[in-house]
Structure 1
Amino acid sequence: MGAGTGGTDMKRLLNQLWIVIGAVVVAFIVSWFIYMPDAEQRGAWRAQTGGSIITLNMLQAKLYSENSHSCVEQLTFPAHLKLVEFAEGATVSVEDDTLILRVDGALDATPYTRIDALPAPCEVADAASPRDVFDAMWTAMDEHYAFFDLHGVDWDARRALAPEPTAELDDTEIFDLIGQALEGLDDGHVQLGTPIGFFSPSEAPTWFTQDPFFTRDGYLIRADLTRAAHDTVGTPLTPVELTGIEYALLPDGIGYISIRHMGFDTPFGARSEPAMAQAFIQVADALAEANSIIIDLRYNPGGSDSVSFGVASHFVDQPLNVFTKTTRDGNGQTAPFTATLQPFDATPLTQPVIVLTSKLTGSAAEILTMAFREMPQVTVMGEATSGGLSDILGFKLPNGWDLGLSHQTYRTMDGSLYEAVGIPPDVPFTIEAPPLMRGEDPLLRAALAAARD
């Protein structure tokens, strides 16, 4: 009797489980019909400034890297737009027959224009020769890179490095050849990612390259430098979960914030800017009574512009225009987009702030620096930043390698351009290797002294 009852209970449980699974499947199918691209969104769309094509149908979405030499499928994902929004923070909408792509992490949207059909080269995946790979790289840079003149590089002359059409090169030889073509572009956003290695022609500051201080990727050394800074603070730091932020309120009333990167482990379905702003409440509450605040961005390589805005939103009480940006469009530029910082709430941190920067302060950390420079209570101290401000336009090369390049021009609200040269500090401070290699931190000590004055 008991065994029979147990078998019946198990059968009932399995039936209930199958009902639940079936309901979930039906709900997902129904949601797919609700959130698949509508008739207005379906079709092929080309970015108005070039570089990419998006195709949308009822089941699938594809992103292609395109230039006048090649078209390569870059990404394929299900056309369940709500799932894409939750998982990747990307949304599409159609406004006046223009497809607007908004991606979490970027401050502005990318507009696409409808095209009649996907170009034929995008539908053919022939084996790529070394010449094909080089030509696709050279053309992508030629049509979209914005700063050849700033770096003094004659890109037309680099065309002569192209291998013969019938040349047979292995991956290492192609990698080295592309690296040779990119040399001289001191730009951390010019990147070549491959299964055999990563390359960027960016140059580290002199003080960072001295043995035994330097490793090519730099990340272990950045960690060592950060530890030296924390030792100099002399007070245990509290980390903020999911971020690169640590902070402390020193006994003398100085608040210290170390931001190692502008990344955020954004929860599923959340957006990075409001999520970062919410996470930063922990810091703002802890330092609300500080006499002054030091924000250390010296070894921060960047991350998301939206994360930077999430942090900066705690230091303003009204909307603040902080910079403009344009995108290369053929031989010209698009109309400027003005980035406006919105306050998190009506009770911002208003104490005097010292922001520390160095030549290792890059990308989204420079975006944060630009935002801080527009605030009257902020003083920037240290070295000029790395000078890599543009977002990265990514291309898939015909052999599957990834090329990144700078295609956008950021300017401060007074019109200054700091690409390639870096954002200058208000208070210059020369960073030298010997004291850093001894575990000392003269710049931070100078900042602490200034914060006490």
Structure 2
Amino acid sequence: MSIAPSSLLSAVLLASTFLSSAPSAEATPPLPTHRYVPTIQSGEVTHLAQGRWDLSSYGMLFDFSAHEVGVFDRAGGLCWRDTEYMDAKSVNDLVPFVATGSSPSSLLFASSPDGTQYRTEPVSMLPLACTELQDRTSPLYIFNAITASLLELYPFAREHNVDWAERTSRLRPRIASVHSKVELLAVFIELFRGVEDPHTSLAGSINGKPFRLRSFRGQDFKELEAAYSRQNQYDIFLDWLFKRWMPGELDQASAALLPGTRQQAFDSGLVWGKLKGNIGYLAINKMAGFRQDSDLAGDRSLLGPALDRALADLQDTSSLVLDISHNMGGDDEISSDIAARFADRARKAYSKQAFRGGTVQWFETVPHQGARYLKPVYLLTSELSASATEVFAIRMRGLPNVVQVGETTQGIFSDSTEKGLPNGWVLAMSTEIYRDPHGRNYEGSGLSPVVPYRVIGVNHAANRYRNAILRAAELATTHRLAY
């Protein structure tokens, strides 16, 4: 669950409510990890996965044979072949593992053996809506496919203050006068206007120029967007954020450390060192992509030795500032591996459930068998802390030696489900509900710190980020955790 560079939908509204109800479906225990096998082996679909499989909780259907793959999206009586998943490699990115489910006829696909499970049921043939000849690239079909998907599969209309049915009814008459992709995009700009959910977006290109309709939540992003609008070097907001603004932030973090103590790995994806008062510092600036060519398994194998090095260097410190304030996401499995380094015993961390009838899956934080840090931890967060980073934060908040400080997080926990449309555009949307062990959902509101203060500043000269790190260190020196 990561955020990739894109252009930004300009209008924003504030939505900060959250669901507090407990999961509505009975939880399903996870399968033992040894039961899973790769979905794709030697470039072919493994025999177990061959067949037609209905993943109705995500509005998807798989049609797999040994040498051919088909992923179909379904909503509102429509069905189209997903243009994002047309070959074995892309299917491996979508559902890399598979196992027999609780009944002999059902299959469980998974993001990893210890990751998200996708429960499917067999179907004898593709529905007629998937196979009948029709123009699926027409503006009306694209409009209906997008709006039906949002109406059926999107869980957070209330949290993000959006009435998809009203917007659909109001905008559909405009489709009759749409004769180009530019005109169609104008309609979707209105459809997505003010929806402050970065996991829900529409992306594509027109005449070779990429676009992405997406909005972020909070004051930090409003100030950052304003700064971006005053420059003309970068055409895409997140390109500017990561390439122009972020290096200045990393310089501030380095300046906060005691001279000669700074260490890093993965091009500053991990940074550690020491602060005044024998306080340790560990910044986790990414949750994926530790090497350009690495997949999830590769990232996990790279992460372990780097964390061993960092914790060995920090073992003699009295407390730790754990900084995730500039981490915008990645993989939940990475968040699990890092949280395990701070756990004293196994604890329930959170549950997740697909909005449309999915089974509840519980995830635990289990102590790592090697190097760990069990002293007080001050978890520094900001509005930039998003997605898998927030999943990490919810794991850490369940540990007795951790206190969150800084800013409230972005409030986007759900995986972003992508649906490739017939015209080559891609709809991404939140489709899952994450809840902490008390049944609370923080989508749209974010995780609030125990000690709130500003972390992010556009102007690096003000040293807001450096001062935020030093304040966390001061809290670590003066604030006593009871655990």
TM-score tier by shorter-chain length is 0.7 to 0.9
Distance 1:385 1:53 in 2: 34
Cross-structure match for 1:132: 141
Is the CA contact 2:325–2:380 (under 8 Å) kept in the aligned structure 1?
yes
TM-score normalised to structure 2 length:
0.78
User: Residue type of the partner of 1:270?
Assistant: A
Q: Which amino acid aligns with 1:248?
A: G
Task: Name which of 362, 382, 404 aligns with 1:358.
Answer: 382
| Superposed displacement of residue 320, structure 1 | 1.8
Could you tell me how far apart the structure 1 residues matched to 2:113 and 2:283 are?
21
Letter paired with 1:93: A
CA distance in 1, matches of 2:393, 2:45: 40
Aligned partners of 1:232 and 1:445 also within 8 Å: yes
Aligned to 2:287, the other structure's residue is in SS state strand
**Residues 1:249 and 2:263 are matched in the alignment:** no
Alignment of 1:195-214 (within 5 A): 195=205, 196-206=210-220, 209=223, 213-214=227-228
Deviation, 1:72, is 2.2
**Which of 260, 264, 271 is the matching residue for 2:289?**
264
Return the letter of the residue paired with 2:409.
T
For the 8 Å contact 1:94–1:100, the answer to whether it is kept is yes
Seen in structure 2, the aligned counterparts of structure 1 residues 363 and 346 have a Cα distance that, compared at 3 Å, is same
Does residue 171 of structure 1 match 2:181? yes
Is the 8 Å Cα contact of residues 246 and 259 (structure 1) preserved in structure 2?
yes
Q: For the structure 1 residues 207 and 119, does the alpha-carbon distance in structure 2 shift closer, same or farther, using more than 3 Å as the test?
A: closer
Unaligned ranges ≥5, structure 2: 1-40, 230-236, 479-483
CA contact (8 A) 2:202 2:214 kept: yes
Whether 1:240 aligns to 2:265 is yes
Secondary structure at the aligned position of 1:262 is classed as coil
Equivalent in 415, 422, 432 of residue 398 of structure 1: 422
Please give the alpha-carbon distance, in whole angstroms, between the structure 2 residues aligned to 1:406 and 1:186.
12
Distance in 1 (CA, whole Å) between partners of 2:316 and 2:448 is 30
Shift of 1:52: 1.3
Which stretch shows the higher mean deviation, 55-64 or 180-189?
Answer: 55-64
Letter of the aligned partner of 1:113 in structure 2? E
In the TM superposition, residue 179 of structure 1 has moved relative to its aligned partner by 2.2
Distance 1:145-1:89 versus aligned 2 partners, 3 A rule: closer
2:469 maps to what in 1? 444
Inter-partner Cα distance in structure 1 for 2:164 and 2:177: 22
1:149 partner SS? coil
1:121 Cα deviation after fit: 3.6
Deviation string 1:14-49 (CA, Å, 9 cap, x unpaired) is xxxxxxxxxxxxxxxxx859x7532x5322111041
Give 1:444 shift: 1.5
1:344-355 aligned within 5 A: 344-345=368-369, 347-355=371-379
**Superimposed CA distance per residue, residues 380-422 of structure 1 (whole angstroms, 9 cap, x where no aligned partner):** 0011101111111111122111111111111111222211011
Match for residue 152 of structure 1?
161
Structure 1: gaps spanning 5 or more residues: 1-30
Structure 1 CA distance, aligned partners of 2:42 and 2:158?
48
Counterpart selection for 2:248 from 220, 224, 249: 224
Amino acid at match of 2:394: M
Structure 2 residue identity aligned to 1:259: I
Partner of 2:440: 416
Residue by residue, what CA displacement relative to the aligned partner does 1:151-181 show, whole Å, maximum 9, x if unpaired? 2222111112125554333223222321210
Does the C-alpha gap of structure 1 residues 432 and 201 become closer, same or farther in structure 2, counting only changes over 3 Å? Answer: closer
Q: TM-score, normalised by structure 1?
A: 0.83
CA distance in 1, matches of 2:185, 2:347: 44
Cα pair distance change 1:157/1:448, threshold 3 Å: same
Q: Is the 8 A contact 1:51 1:395 kept in 2?
A: no
What is the CA–CA distance in structure 1 between the aligned matches of 2:295 and 2:359, rounded to whole Å? Answer: 34
Counterpart check, 1:92 vs 2:128: no
What letter matches 2:147 in structure 1? W
Q: Residue 109 of structure 1: CA displacement? A: 0.8
Q: Contact 1:142 / 1:155 at 8 angstroms: preserved in 2?
A: yes
**1:208 Cα deviation from its structure 2 partner:** 5.2
> 2:30 maps to which residue?
none
CA RMSD of aligned residues (A): 2.9
Cα gap change, 1:245/1:448 in structure 2, threshold over 3 Å: closer, same or farther?
same
Q: What percent of counterpart residues are identical?
A: 21
Residue type at the aligned position of 2:79: S
Provide the C-alpha distance between the structure 2 equivalents of 1:238 and 1:406, rounded to a whole number of angstroms: 36
Contact 1:88 1:104 in 2 (8 A): no
Alignment of 1:49-64 (within 5 A): 49-64=57-72
Q: Point out the structure with max Rg over C-alpha.
A: 1
SS of the counterpart of 2:429? Answer: strand
Superposed displacement of residue 90, structure 1: 0.7
- Provide Cα deviations, 1:65-112, integer angstroms capped at 9, x if missing partner: 222323223312249xxx986x88811223221121112498321111
Name the count of aligned residue pairs: 414
- Please say which of residues 272-281 and 168-177 is displaced more in the overlay: 272-281
1:283 aligns with 2:297: no
Q: Which residue number in structure 2 is paired with residue 379 of structure 1?
A: 403
- Structure 1 residues 67 and 106, CA gap change in structure 2 (3 angstroms): farther
Amino acid of the structure 2 residue aligned with 1:244: G
- Where relative contact order (Cα < 8 A, 6+ residues apart) is larger, the structure is 2
